[in-house]
Structure 1
Amino acid sequence: MPSLLRLRAAVPIVSAVLLSILLAACGDDAGDEDLTRQELSWTACPAPDEAQGGGASPSPLPDDGEWQCATMKVPLDWGDPKGDTIGLELIRVETTGEENERIGSLIFNFGGPGGSGVTSLPAFADGYETLRTRYDLVSFDPRGVGRSDPVICENDQQLDAYFQQDATPDDAAERTELLENTKDFNDACEQNSEKILPHVRTTDAARDLDLMRQVLGDDKLHYFGVSYGTELGGVYAHLFPERVGRAVFDAVVDPTQGPEQGSLGQAKGFQLALDNFAEDCVSKTEECPVGDSAQDVKDRIARLLNDLDRNPLPGIFPRQLTQTAATSGILQALYSQDFWEYLTEGLEQAYDGDGRILMALADSMNGRSENGEYSNITPANVAINCADEKPRYDTAYVERKLPEFRAASDLFGDYMAWSMLTCTDWAVAGAADHPDVSAPGAAPILVVGNTGDPATPYEGARAMANALGKGVGVELTYRGQGHGAYDSENKCVQGAVNGYLLDGKVPPTGTVCT
Structure 2
Amino acid sequence: MGTVSSVVATALAAAVAPATVQAAPAGGVNSRNSSAAARYTGQRLDWTPCDRDPSLECAAMAVPRDWHHLGTGADLTIEVPRHRAADPAQRRGVLMMAAGGPAASGLTRPAGFVKASPTVGAAYDVVIFDQRGVGSSSHAMCQTNAEFRDFYAGDFRDRSPAALQGVVDRSKQFAKDCLERSGDLVKYLNTDQAVRDMDLFRSLLGVQKISYYGPSYATWLGAYYATEFPQHVERAVLDSNEPFAQTWQQAELGQPMSFQRRFEQDFLPWIAKYDSVYHYGSTAAEAQSTWEARRKALHDHPITIGSLTIGPNQLDNATLQGMYNADQRWRGLASVLTALEHWNTATQAEHQLVQKTFANYLSPGFAATFFPVTCNDTPWDRDLDYWIRQSAKDTTKYPLVGARELAYTATCVYWPESDAPRVKVTGKGLPPTLMLNSVHDPATYYEGAVRAHKALRGSRLVTVTGGGDHGQYQNGNACVDGIVDAYLLSGTVPAHDTTCPTKPLPVPAQGS
CA–CA distance in 2 between the matches of 1:258 and 1:32?
31
Task: Verify the 8 A CA contact 1:92 1:136 in the aligned structure 2.
Answer: yes
Give the partner amino acid of 1:488. N
Structure 1 length as normaliser, TM-score? 0.83
| 467, 475, 479: which one aligns with 1:488 | 475
Aligned match of 1:328 in 303, 306, 317?
317
* Superimposed CA distance per residue, residues 396-453 of structure 1 (whole angstroms, 9 cap, x where no aligned partner): 2123214542465244322235432121312453647x85211212111101111121
* Correspondence 1:268 to 2:254: no
Residue of structure 1 in register with 2:209 after alignment: 220
Shift of 1:248: 0.2
User: What is the distance in 1 between the residues matched to 2:37 and 2:277?
Assistant: 70
Where does 1:60-99 land on structure 2 (aligned, <5 Å)?
60=54, 66-81=55-70, 84-99=74-89
Establish whether residue 478 from structure 1 lines up as the match of residue 464 from structure 2: yes
The aligned residue for residue 37 of structure 1 is 42
Q: Which residue of 2 aligns with 1:339?
A: 329
Give the AA of the match of 2:222: G
The CA RMSD over aligned residues, in Å, is 2.3
By how many angstroms is 1:112 displaced?
0.3
Counterparts of 1:103-114 in structure 2, within 5 Å, are 103-114=92-103
Deviations 1:46-79 (A, max 9, x none): 3xxxxxxxxxx22x5xxxxx21110012111111
Q: Could you tell me which residue of structure 2 aligns to residue 127 of structure 1?
A: 116
The answer as to 2:434 corresponding to 1:446 is yes
- Residue 388 of structure 2 is aligned with which of 399, 418, 424? 399
How far is 1:195 from its partner? 2.8
Partner in structure 1 of residue 273 of structure 2: 283
1:311 is aligned to 301
Deviations, residues 170-194 of structure 1 (Å, cap 9, x unaligned): 2111111112212222111111111
CA distance in 1, matches of 2:297, 2:153: 15
Equivalent residue number for residue 359 of structure 2? 363
Q: 2:447 aligns with which of 448, 454, 459?
A: 459
Instruction: Encode CA deviations 1:110-148: one digit per residue, 9 max, x unaligned.
Output: 210001111444455532323101011111111111122
Q: For 1:220 and 1:184, how far apart are their aligned partners in 2?
A: 43
Deviations 1:477-512 (A, max 9, x none): 112231111132211101110111111111222111
Gaps of 5+ in 2: 1-34, 345-350, 502-512
Preserved CA contact (<8 Å) 1:278 1:294: yes
Amino acid aligned to 2:497: G
Which of 1 and 2 has greater Rg?
2
TM-score of the superposition, structure 2-length normalised? 0.84
* Residues 117, 474 of structure 2: 8 Å contact kept: no
Sequence identity, in percent?
29
* Equivalence for 2:508: none
Q: 1:290 to 1:394 in 2, by over 3 A?
A: farther
Tell me how far apart the structure 2 counterparts of residues 334 and 110 of structure 1 sit (CA, whole Å). 19
Which residue matches 2:11? none
Q: How does 1:231-250 map to 2 (within 5 A)?
A: 231-250=220-239
Find the residue that maps to 2:167 and give its secondary structure: helix
Q: Residues 269-309 of structure 1, C-alpha deviation per residue, up to 9 Å, x if partnerless?
A: 11122120111122248454212211111122122223322
Cα distance in 1, alignment partners of residues 384 and 286 from structure 2: 33
CA, structure 1 residues 356+262, in 2 after alignment: closer, same or farther (shift >3 Å)? farther
| Alpha-carbon separation, structure 2, partners of 1:418 and 1:195 | 23
| Cα distance per residue 1:79-126 (max 9 Å; x no partner) | 123554221100111111133x21222111121000111144445553
- Which of 497, 508, 511 is equivalent to 1:510? 497
Q: Could you tell me how far apart the structure 2 residues matched to 1:351 and 1:80 are?
A: 57
Contact map agreement 1:386 1:430 (CA 8 A) in 2: no
**Contact 1:447/1:464 (CA < 8 Å) preserved in 2?**
no
Letter in 2 for 1:454: P
For 1:19, the equivalent position in structure 2 comes to none
